[in-house]
Structure 1
Amino acid sequence: MTKNWQHGFYKRSAQERRNLVKQMCALSDEQFATLENQATSLGDQLVENYVTDYHLPEGLLVGLVVNGREYTMPMVTEEPSVIAAASNGSQRVAQSGGFHASAEPRSLVGQVVLTNIDDYDALATWLSEHEETILTVANDAHPSMKRRGAGAKGLRVRIEPPFLSLDLLVDVSEAMGANSVNTMAEAVGAWLRKQGYTVLTAILSNLATESLQTVTCQVDPAHLATSDMTGPQVARRIALMSDLAQVDVYRAATHNKGIMNGIDALVLASGNDWRAIEAGAHAYAARDGHYRGLATWQVDGDRLVGRLTLPMPVGVVGGSIKTTPQSNTNYQISQIKSAQELAGVIAAAGLAQNLAALRALATSGIQAGHMKLQYRSLALSVGATIAEVPRLTKRLAQLSHVDRQVASDILAQIRKETNDGRREN
């Protein structure tokens, strides 16, 4: 490959980039057509070195009841079982009254980190004495936010030698707010430098402990029963699985990954930053120095009680939210109007996802239902047409061992049977 063909890549038009990629990466005509057919002028405005849009499937989570209201929520994911599991868990909880999402205060944290400090206590006192001035500096950097009744509302000092973090607590109203908080933090950092202090950095923290969202539910075990286990038996096993995720970090990581399966899919569909939500969730899971499962379940009397708390700093305006026609359409589908409402619904979906996963683990095992959905992806990956997928997946589901070679062999057999049938006719 010719050296430095990427030099000045960003200066080229999107079409020129695609042409160059085809030439230098030896794309087939079909592969090049994929890049061209999925390209949009909007995408070219959103990211650097743009060549095309990358499409992911979007489906709907149905039957999710939060605070007495039933929601239909768009979910974006390539994982076959995510939407099925979220809907399954949601419907089981709905039969027992649904989820309750608490109304929580909502602020983001902007860190202004100082170093080269001689006396930490003296600096902390000085910052406290100048709180009103510092908040004014922050709000003057983003006056439109304060006009809406939001903006920087308070300060917090954390000492971690050799650093001192001055945390701005910023009410971002209905916005995602990352850019606003960064602007405010940088303004305060610049002001502190003028006062003679050494500022190492000024930036938003994605550990949004001032934007926690809690959801709870109470499930009648009768809605958890299987053909082999009673509802109370299943409930007790789910509670034990929850206990395991509190003491075993290996189990906790998978426990939380399942929760984030549902949360990420909803956050992505809403136009919010799913990477920020992921980072904050996992950091919060380790807040006491031991990484734990975010969701907990316990048997209380004749009910299985679930609870999930995690940072959920989402917005319904600003940033990339509603930038694309699809995210705009998704808000029309969900009918969600406020950031607080969105946070509660997303967290509820995460708890629903967790319930479905733990019920499967506690009973038939995760693979029984998971693989039935995975077979569709496997069928497509070995070249099955849309018409061939149902026949191939049906046969794969009857086997005890399935891999790509097995799927390819069965697909070849199906095609032979189809061709033989045509010749007979």
Structure 2
Amino acid sequence: MKTSRIPGFYKMTVDERQELIKEMHPFSEQEKDEFFSISPLAIDTADNMIENVIGTFQLPLGLGLNFLINGKDYVVPMAIEEASVVASASHIAKIVRQAGGFTTEATGRVMIGQIQVVGCTDFYVAKEAIITEKENIIMAANTAYPSIVARGGGVEDLEVRILNGDSDSKYGQMLILHLYINTVDAMGANIINTMVESVAPLVEEITNGKVYLRILSNYADRSLARAHCIIPPELLETGGFSGEEVRDGIIHAFEFADSDPYRAVTHNKGIMNGIDPVVIATGNDWRAVEAGAHAYAARSGAYRSMTTWSKDQAGNLVGELELPMSVGTVGGATKVHPLAKMALNILDIKSAQELAQVIVAVGLAQNLGALKALVTDGIQKGHMALHSRSVAIAAGATGEMIDIVARELVETKQIRVGKAIELVEKYTK
């Protein structure tokens, strides 16, 4: 039976881990050969994905373990170069698992296409004309992409507003249309752009204005995903710190980030340490997700914490994360990149909504891992211990020497390349 609880996984060799994953998932022989090859992304495929290709660039692909979300086990592929992220997320997922797991939900899969109209004789008359012709505009947009309509999606609504209507504005007036488009399981950029471009001439005719920009918005605030967890304080006990001390420290750390943008930026970067690796591994647009997440963190007018941490009446730690999540499970690199296909296979998800929920759960876990470390032993103790292997490799260590050098770096608390070079020279004499 598939489970995300795999004790001792980190102790296995890479070959042993691969064999275990092959046993857990119904890969075909062709998929096994492709997914687990030395270079899964063939150069011919890469050459057709972007321009001016000279090769491929690989990142480590690890598995986030122990995730129990809405009662379902998830093994989460994470593509990232930074040490300690996968370990931290897995550690916290184990704690939350003991507390009953994460609960998540997602809103509808509605993305936004924008159309900018300038030069109207009367912007308020033009706005009313758009509202009057709303159904015709929606019909024209859906006609431009019938396949998404056939899958149950398409334009569901239209909104229009006037920007810079104030005479004191330093910018010119413009009319902005929002097409609200259900993209089903696609991220939807091509769908949205096709639709807004197709109706631009009709909008010009209705408004007697000039259309310039017609493009999607990556601020997907109608495609939200939420994660929630409740953790009894006894599960947070660490070394000489009581669970209550850790809980209170985490809440104070959140309050710091929610009050100060200098702290919020680093706090939120830690959340994205969990989110981006899953977005990348599944072939989704991590730049779009990043942009939308940071914009959402500033929706109050100030840049604030993406997460919230509080204490309930029973004294439990309560964590929440809500973000726009413009991801897909069809189209783009999700069906072109072999490792993206493998990642989706391992996740065993049924929809883009489900993927979005898994992603925010990982983000919440990663944030808790960072905060728990910060309010107890500090961030460096665990991070640098894991980073020591990379330092050893950078100093020229290979094979078994990597572990020997890394261990001595940790023991001497000198995790730096200069010290590692000394050790490599010492053991190779």
| Superposed pair shares fold, TM > 0.5 | yes
Distance 1:37 1:129, change over 3 A: closer
Deviations 1:393-421 (A, max 9, x none): 111002244322122112211222xxxxx
Aligned to 2:6: none
Matching residue of 2:190 = 179
Matched residues, percent identical?
A: 43
Aligned to 1:205: 217
Cα distance between partner residues in 2 of 1:120 and 1:222? 61
Which whole-Å CA distance do the structure 1 matches of 2:143 and 2:418 have between them?
64
Q: 1:352 to 1:404 in 2, by over 3 A?
A: same
Report the Cα offset of residue 37 of structure 1. Answer: 11
- Taking the aligned partners of 1:169 and 1:318, their CA distance within structure 2 comes to 20
Distance 2:41 2:122 in 1: 58
Larger radius of gyration: 1
Contact 2:393 2:402 in 1 (8 A): yes
Partner of 1:357: 370
Q: Is 1:160 equivalent to 2:171 in the alignment?
A: no
How many angstroms apart in 1 are the aligned matches of 2:92 and 2:174?
Answer: 45
Match of 1:229 in 2: 241
Give me the whole-angstrom Cα distance separating, in 2, the residues matched to 1:240 and 1:124: 47
Distance in 2 between residues matched to 1:164 and 1:254, nearest whole Å? 37
1:193 to 193, 204, 220: 204
Structure 1 stretch 190-199 or stretch 273-282: which is displaced more?
190-199
Between the aligned partners of 1:341 and 1:270, the Cα distance in structure 2 is: 13
Task: Judge which range, 194-203 or 376-385, deviates more.
Answer: 194-203
Tell me which amino acid in the other structure corresponds to 1:271: G
Shift in Å, 1:262: 0.9
1:218-257 map, 5 Å: 218-257=230-269
Give TM-score scaled by structure 2 length.
Answer: 0.86
* Aligned equivalents of 1:352, 1:224: Cα separation in 2: 13
- Aligned pair partner of 2:67 in 64, 67, 72: 64
Select which of 85, 88, 94 maps to 2:88. 85
Structure 1 gaps of 5+ residues are 1-35, 417-425
Q: Distance in 1 between matches of 2:56 and 2:415?
A: 33
Give the distance between the partners of 2:100 and 2:138, measured in 1 at CA: 44
One-letter amino acid of the counterpart of residue 260, structure 1: M
Q: Residues of 2 paired with 1:175 and 1:220: CA distance? A: 38
- In 1, distance between residues paired with 2:174 and 2:41? 47
The residue type paired with residue 107 of structure 2 is E
Give 1:123 deviation, angstroms.
2.0
**Residues in 1 aligned to 2:283 and 2:408: alpha-carbon distance in whole angstroms:** 39
Pair 1:214-2:217 in alignment: no
Query: Once superposed, which parts of structure 1, at least 4 consecutive aligned residues long, lie more than 4 Å away?
Result: 36-39
Q: Is the deviation greater in 184-193 or in 259-268? A: 184-193
Pick the aligned partner of 1:403 from 403, 416, 429: 416
Q: Is the 8 A contact 1:294 1:308 kept in 2?
A: yes
| Counterpart AA for 1:175 | A
- Native 8 Å contact 1:110 1:202 kept in 2: yes
> Once the 2 structures are TM-superposed, how far is the Cα of residue 230 of structure 1 from its aligned partner?
0.4
Count of matched residue positions in the alignment of Structure 1 and Structure 2:
381
- Deviation (angstroms), 1:119: 3.0
Aligned to 2:383: 370
Equivalent AA in structure 2 for residue 184 of structure 1: M
- What is the CA–CA distance in structure 2 between the aligned matches of 1:103 and 1:192, rounded to whole Å? 32
